[in-house]
Amino acid sequence: MVTFHSEQDMINFGEKLASHLFPGSVLTLEGELGAGKTTFTKGIGRGLGISKVINSPTFTIVKVYQGRLPLYHFDAYRLEGQNEELGFEEMFEDEGVCVIEWPIFIQDILPQERLDIHIIKNEDETRSFLFEAHGEVYEEITKEMAL
Ligand SMILES: Nc1ncnc2c1ncn2[C@@H]1O[C@H](COP(=O)(O)OP(=O)(O)OP(=O)(O)O)[C@@H](O)[C@H]1O
Ligand SMILES: [Mg+2]
């Protein structure tokens, strides 16, 4: 578990994590509204060398950004489980890095190998992250970063 005291802390951490990512990486971000999923994704984007501003993709479900690797930023909130025939599986298998907010709404199509991150909004406004690695490459990343 890691605890962040500010938005900036969280962004810096996202930047560091991004340096361990590879083509086809999949990260899910679970946590309540305002937990910091999009904020953390901004850090990932910075680490991937994306200069465009990353903001909430709520109205588009997925936004694509070009960087060292492409970033596919998903927000499945509005899908509420209606995810058939949208072609997301192809994106998960693509060269890019997929970061998925509200993974619960597409849980039946998520790849087995992925890094699940649970974000907890604490009463004092700090945020704690819990990591759950599925697959050897992600276990390696959590080990390397001592998570
Ligand atoms: N320690 C902190 N770390 C990150 N964000 C913080 C922190 N303290 C306060 N915040 C605020 O919490 C909010 C997090 O918003 P963000 O859009 O990242 O959440 P989200 O999890 O993506 O929400 P949604 O489910 O609506 O997409 C921001 O307004 C940010 O300024
Ligand atoms: Mg968000």
Q: How many whole angstroms from 3 Cα to the centroid of ligand 1? A: 14
At 19 the pLDDT is: 97
Q: Which domains are delineated in the chain?
A: 2-79+113-144 (3.40.50.300)
List alpha helices for the chain, DSSP H. 7-18, 37-47, 88-93, 136-144
Ligand 1 geometric centre to CA of 121 (Å): 9
Two structure tokens written together for 9: 């802390």
Q: Atom of ligand 1 at shortest distance to CA of 41?
A: 18
> φ and ψ at 132, to 5 degrees?
-135, 105
Q: What per-residue confidence (pLDDT) applies to 60?
A: 83
pLDDT of residue 58 exceeding 70, the answer is no
Residue ranges around ligand 1 (CB below 6 Å): 4-7, 10, 31, 33-39, 56, 101, 125-127
Q: Once rounded to an integer, what is the mean pLDDT over residues 89-94?
A: 91
pTM here is: 0.96
Tell me what percent of the residues of the chain surpass a pLDDT of 70.
Answer: 97
Instruction: Give the pair of three-digit tokens for residue 51.
Output: 């200069």
